[in-house]
Chains A and B, each alone.
Chain A
Amino acid sequence: MTEPALSTHGLGRRYGSTWALRDCDLEIPPGTVTALVGPNGAGKTTLLQLAVGLLAPTAGNVRVLGHDPYRQPAQVLPRVGFVAQEHPLPRRFTIAETLRLGRELNPTWDDGLAARRIDELGLSPAQRVGTLSGGQQAQVALTLALAKRPQLLLLDEPVASLDPLARREFLNTVVQAVADAGIGVVLSSHIVADLERICDRLIILAHGRTLLDGAIDDILAGHRVLTGPRSSAERVERIHDVIRESHTERQTTLLVRANGHVYDAFWELHEVDLEEIVLAYLGLDRAGRGTPSGRRAVVSR
């Protein structure tokens, strides 16, 4: 089965006159861990809610594991684990009752897995959800999603409200689950740190549009920082996409998406890390230039 885990075609969603997501074309292969990155309001939550059928598209379509999540929830919901932003749980429930909720509402529920994970977290089934820390609640919500035995896990800002330690533990759980079960994951985040460690694909969204979509290895290999004496970027631009250029009095620095190798003795080449690439693309968007091809953000210092 090479059916994509998630694919969208011209997908758009409008609230009133504002497009939260627009012309979104994506194809996420099964079994990959994809990070959906962008600032707040970029359309990440909208995309994930469309993917899990909480929202109906205004334009285009979305397919999850081959089905329309809004129109065919019975084909999609049992195969998808979803943790919404702020990982909402009924606060009056105990952990045991929360697991029973999962058992009552999911035919594919794995009670052993759920109980084992709660045990590993050092939690007692008698504890009330409302008394748990944010990190623990996130872990319980993740347990609920994993014990469905999903083929695809959708996590909306799962670590945004967690402290660094809880964030690391949460992501470790995800990595472990993925390794154990071979399931695909799409997780949205506005925090780039840690993503490189657990994700193999990256999608950058801003203002409802896709700025970049690819395997993280390819993205890292394809982007370089060029530094050289102060000059215009014109020559480089003819071959490569300049994502960001910045100038000091003496020096020019370019972040480029290289089309092939960069052979130019004029420039000194550096590798660039993921966070910087993401920031460059988001800066590009902030400059209001839309999609990256042949356009760039100019930063002067």
Chain B
Amino acid sequence: MIWVGWRQQRTETLIAGAVLVVIAAIVIPVGIHMASVYTHEGLAACGANAQPGTACGLAIPSFQIRFNLLDILFTWSTLLPPIAALLFAAPFILDLDSGTYRLLWTQSITRRRWIVTKLGLGIAATVLVAVLLSVLATWLRAPLDHLNGRLGSSTYDAEGLVPIAYALLALGVAVALGAVWRRTVPALLTAFVLYVVARAFVDSWLRQRLVDATRVTWHIGGGGGPSNSTLNRALVIHQYLSDKTGRAIAGANEICVRTSAGALPHTRISGPCLLPSAHGYMTVVFIPASRFWELQAIEFGIVAGIGALLVAAAGWWTYRRIA
């Protein structure tokens, strides 16, 4: 059955392999170039503690602007593992869709064996592609990660364990829908939409609640509080003007506060701006960069767990319900 399963998945595997090769061919030279610029300009020695006005303080922003496009590309690249997963879900659904399962289940092997082999091969291929993409991203982004940390969404979603989890989730959604629906194209399209919804939910709501965030309040005039580089590399959930106990002051415009505090990059100013009083306090709620792996492990456990449950549900449904 393994040969049959592999043969039925061959086209998908070749497509995924070709796409990976093309991506690697584009991205590896860029990565080598970026790494050489990074070393050449001595950014490794700068660390992230570049004070404005120093050589590092000039070189780091210029480096970041130069490779900004890469960052944008990486936001999109987080779609690749789930797309690969949908591709590898297709052979399972196609057998149910085209009726060839009636042929395969009436050879001498059992239906259980067919289900296990097909889903197993789908999982294996999906995980392999996700791991390769994650490794490639981690290698490529190493200089940027060194400067910016790994908790920014384009980094966090592309590196470590999380891309594998999301690929498994997409696979699970697709095969579960496919098992029930038995129509390949609608099942895959719907799975993609559901995946994007689930992903948006995690990004905007769930992730910041997975671990207890650090909360720091400090007197604006008196300094203290986390350093710029700490916040730069952290996942900042909230930052606001507050009283001494950390309670927000009503009406204080968060964006302005950030600007005036000078803490965060990529700020946009809109609306009226309430300048912080010299006696004000500032509170920031954030997940520090050091908790990258902890956050990744928890998110992986939840998302990959749901994906695995969905794959199992697809197998169970196929075993019990389909004729």
Interface residues of A (CB under 8 A from B): 49, 52-55, 73-74, 77-78, 80, 82, 84, 86, 88-93, 97, 100-102, 104-108, 141, 144, 148
In the complex the two chains form, is A77's CB within 8 Å of B100's CB? no
In the complex the two chains form, is A77's CB within 8 Å of B110's CB? yes
In the complex the two chains form, is A90's CB within 8 Å of B8's CB? yes
**10 A-B contacts, Cβ less than 8 Å apart?**
A55-B323, A77-B110, A84-B102, A86-B99, A91-B98, A93-B7, A100-B3, A105-B1, A105-B107, A106-B108
In the complex the two chains form, is B106's CB within 8 Å of A77's CB? yes
> Given the interface contacts A49-B323, A104-B4, does A88 sit within 8 Å of B108 by beta carbon?
no
Task: Report A-chain residues with C-beta under 8 Å of the C-beta of B1.
Answer: 104-105
Task: Report B-chain residues with C-beta under 8 Å of the C-beta of A82.
Answer: 102, 106
> Given the interface contacts A86-B99, A88-B99, does A77 sit within 8 Å of B323 by beta carbon?
no
Q: A100: nearest residue on chain B (CB-CB)?
A: B3
Task: Report A-chain residues with C-beta under 8 Å of the C-beta of B100.
Answer: 88-90
Q: A50: nearest residue on chain B (CB-CB)?
A: B323
Tally the A-B contacts, defined by beta carbons under 8 Å.
65
Query: Binary interface profile of B, 76-119, with partner A (CB < 8 Å = 1, else 0)?
Result: 00000000000000000000001110111111111100000000
Task: Report A-chain residues with C-beta under 8 Å of the C-beta of B3.
Answer: 100, 104
Question: Which 4 residue pairs are nearest across A and B when measured between Cβ atoms?
Answer: A105-B107, A84-B102, A88-B99, A78-B108
Q: B101: nearest residue on chain A (CB-CB)?
A: A88
- Contact residue among B103, B109, B111 (Cβ-Cβ distance under 8 Å from A88): B103
Task: Report A-chain residues with C-beta under 8 Å of the C-beta of B111.
Answer: 73
Q: A91: nearest residue on chain B (CB-CB)?
A: B98
Q: B185: shortest Cβ distance to chain A, in Å?
A: 16
> Given the interface contacts A54-B323, A93-B7, does A77 sit within 8 Å of B108 by beta carbon?
yes
B290 at the interface (CB under 8 A from A): no
Task: Report B-chain residues with C-beta under 8 Å of the C-beta of A74.
Answer: 108, 110
Interface residues of B (CB under 8 A from A): 1, 3-4, 7-8, 11, 98-100, 102-111, 323
Task: Report B-chain residues with C-beta under 8 Å of the C-beta of A53.
Answer: 105-106
Task: Report A-chain residues with C-beta under 8 Å of the C-beta of B103.
Answer: 84, 88-90, 141, 144
In the complex the two chains form, is A101's CB within 8 Å of B105's CB? no
Task: Report B-chain residues with C-beta under 8 Å of the C-beta of A141.
Answer: 103
Q: A156: nearest residue on chain B (CB-CB)?
A: B102
Q: B169: shortest Cβ distance to chain A, in Å?
A: 28
Q: A180: shortest Cβ distance to chain B, in Å?
A: 21
- Residue of B7, B8, B100, B103 most packed against chain A (CB within 10 A): B103
Report the separation of the CA atoms of residues A78 and B11 in the bound assembly, to the nearest whole angstrom.
30
Report the separation of the CA atoms of residues A78 and B102 in the bound assembly, to the nearest whole angstrom.
15
- Contact residue among B4, B102, B323 (Cβ-Cβ distance under 8 Å from A101): B4
> Given the interface contacts A55-B323, A90-B8, A97-B7, does A106 sit within 8 Å of B98 by beta carbon?
no
Task: Report A-chain residues with C-beta under 8 Å of the C-beta of B109.
Answer: 77, 105
Task: Report A-chain residues with C-beta under 8 Å of the C-beta of B98.
Answer: 88, 90-91
Report the separation of the CA atoms of residues A141 and B102 in the bound assembly, to the nearest whole angstrom.
12
Report the separation of the CA atoms of residues A80 and B323 in the bound assembly, to the nearest whole angstrom.
17
Q: B3: nearest residue on chain A (CB-CB)?
A: A104
Report the separation of the CA atoms of residues A93 and B9 in the bound assembly, to the nearest whole angstrom.
11
Q: A108: nearest residue on chain B (CB-CB)?
A: B108
Q: B111: shortest Cβ distance to chain A, in Å?
A: 7
In the complex the two chains form, is B11's CB within 8 Å of A107's CB? no
